[in-house]
Copies of this chain bind each other. A is one copy, B any other.
Amino acid sequence: MAESVERLQQRVEQLERELAQERSRRAVGGGDGGGGRVRIEKMSPEVVDSNPYSRLMALKRMGIVSDYEKIRTFAVAIVGVGGVGSVTAEMLTRCGIGKVKTFLFACHNGKLLTSGVNQLLLFDYDKVELANMNRLFFQPHQAGLSKVQAAEYTLRNINPDVLFEVHNYNITTVENFQHFMDRISNGGLEEGKPVDLVLSCVDNFEARMTINTACNELGQTWMESGVSENAVSGHIQLIIPGESACFACAPPLVVAANIDEKTLKREGVCAASLPTTMGVVAGILVQNVLKFLLNFGTVSFYLGYNAMQDFFPTMSMKPNPQCDDRNCRKQQEEYKKKVAALPKQEAAQEEEEIIHEDNEWGIELVSEVSEEELKNSSGPVPDLPEGITVAYTIPKKQEDSVAEVTVEDSGESLEDLMAKMKNM
């Protein structure tokens, strides 16, 4: 058995080499290319054409990042390999993330396929279709392949230093949810340690709530991303359980596109999408990831993108003490204890971080949403900065079923919420 696995692995490697050669040959119209590149043991700042890391290591010389090589020590889980997730994965792969593991999880129905080797984890049930060709990353010849397989192949070819692990399942079923939780908790740099960051690049409400439930339970920091159904707005959001508002604390926020909302909400309508909006959202998401992991610049708790007006609001939100997710409330208590145990100055600084996420230009876009407003967030809408609006208002009854029973198949009661949130 061990032998056959080894033989199969060798066969896969050989076929990948041949395929890369074949493709490069076709690209030059017959010549020879050699395919991909060899692995690189240690990132070097050397300025030579053959060094794929020279322009990244230059961030140190430029005074932006103090220790760029640290990028290799991080494991990031990406859930959803669609228009935003695939570009997010490509950017992180090109940045050289995850010497050990990166993760891509997906959100739909499909059977479990666990990879034998620890690699960048890809979770998606979906297949590549020609209808996806209006977004970056996938190519027409990949139509029919599963998104995770196609993505894994392309990404491994781009940077063989990054290791991949793919999962082709729906994280919202009970069984898969447990496995998902396990990979978040144990799939870090060293097996048994948690991942450093979870990125939500899914296209529906149920999957977002599932990630929120998992991260609240595990105290796992994550970033959410979304693009509107009309393709002209999007956002990213950083959620640190107990410290900033979780996805269940308040209705999800979206950047208003400032067009007639009635045209958006008709059911059964195919959502629009643009490579531009999705590329910008993936770009600001991965930029936030780099700033968070490599400790430079200001990490945004919320950054919106309104493509119609070129308007990019930022804000931050405290968690809701009345949040329906009990693990969120538990994390809030623990965060309070943590802050209380800090020396006075540090505690003030910690508070400051979430309250005054000021940029140095003194721009008045940053807003603070109070606890009081959050408490009432299912009724009156919180006092949000101009241009940001809630995606919907959760009716009290449904809110309970959403926040408490996310993992279970509460499909019926979520139906209209999901219709509204589809492709958010």
- Which A residues form the contact surface with B (CB < 8 A)? 1, 3-5, 7-9, 11-12, 14-16, 18-30, 33-37, 47-56, 58-59, 61-64, 87, 90-91, 94-96, 113-117, 129-131, 133-136, 139-145, 149-150, 153-154, 157-159, 229-232, 257-260, 263-264, 269-277, 279-280, 282-284, 286-288, 290-291, 296-298, 300, 303, 307-312, 314, 359-365, 386-387
Task: Please name 20 further chain A to chain B contacts, defined as beta carbons within 8 Å, in addition to the given A62-B229, A94-B133, A274-B290, sorted by A numbering.
Answer: A1-B5, A5-B116, A8-B12, A25-B26, A27-B150, A27-B153, A55-B273, A56-B274, A58-B231, A59-B230, A87-B279, A91-B136, A91-B279, A96-B134, A279-B280, A279-B283, A280-B283, A309-B361, A311-B361, A361-B387
Contact yes or no, B30 A26, CB < 8 A: yes
Contact of A29 with B30 at beta-carbon distance under 8 Å, contacts A49-B131, A64-B231, A159-B133 already known: yes
A380 to B273, CA, bound (A): 45
B-chain residues with CB within 8 Å of residue A312 when the two chains form the complex: 310-312
Contact of A303 with B310 at beta-carbon distance under 8 Å, contacts A7-B113, A136-B91 already known: yes
A290 to B, closest residue via Cβ: B276
Contact yes or no, A27 B141, CB < 8 A: yes
A115 to B10, CA, bound (A): 11
A35 to B, closest residue via Cβ: B141
A364 to B, closest residue via Cβ: B364
Q: Which of B52, B63, B140 contacts A37 (CB 8 A)?
A: B140
A138 to B, closest residue via Cβ: B158
Contact yes or no, A114 B3, CB < 8 A: yes
Q: Which of B19, B27, B30, B286 contacts A145 (CB 8 A)?
A: B27
A308 to B, closest residue via Cβ: B297
Q: Which of B4, B29, B113, B311 contacts A116 (CB 8 A)?
A: B4
B-chain residues with CB within 8 Å of residue A11 when the two chains form the complex: 8, 12, 149
Q: Give A328 Cβ to nearest chain B Cβ, in Å.
A: 25
Contact yes or no, B140 A271, CB < 8 A: no
Contact yes or no, B271 A58, CB < 8 A: yes
A54 to B, closest residue via Cβ: B131
Q: Top 9 A-B pairs ranked by shortest CB distance?
A: A4-B116, A36-B140, A280-B283, A309-B359, A297-B308, A15-B15, A58-B272, A8-B8, A49-B129
B-chain residues with CB within 8 Å of residue A3 when the two chains form the complex: 113-114, 116
Contact yes or no, A259 B19, CB < 8 A: no
Contact yes or no, A297 B283, CB < 8 A: no
B-chain residues with CB within 8 Å of residue A290 when the two chains form the complex: 274, 276
Q: Give A90 Cβ to nearest chain B Cβ, in Å.
A: 6
Q: Give A150 Cβ to nearest chain B Cβ, in Å.
A: 6
Contact yes or no, B27 A61, CB < 8 A: no
Q: Give A96 Cβ to nearest chain B Cβ, in Å.
A: 8
Q: Which of B33, B283, B311 contacts A141 (CB 8 A)?
A: B33
Q: Which of B16, B96, B115, B279 contacts A282 (CB 8 A)?
A: B279
Contact yes or no, A95 B275, CB < 8 A: yes
Contact yes or no, B140 A158, CB < 8 A: yes
Contact yes or no, A130 B284, CB < 8 A: no
Q: Which of B7, B20, B50, B314 contacts A115 (CB 8 A)?
A: B7
Contact yes or no, B52 A130, CB < 8 A: yes
Q: Which of B51, B61, B143, B272 contacts A61 (CB 8 A)?
A: B272
A282 to B, closest residue via Cβ: B279
Among A28, A29, A270: residue with most chain B CB under 10 A: A270
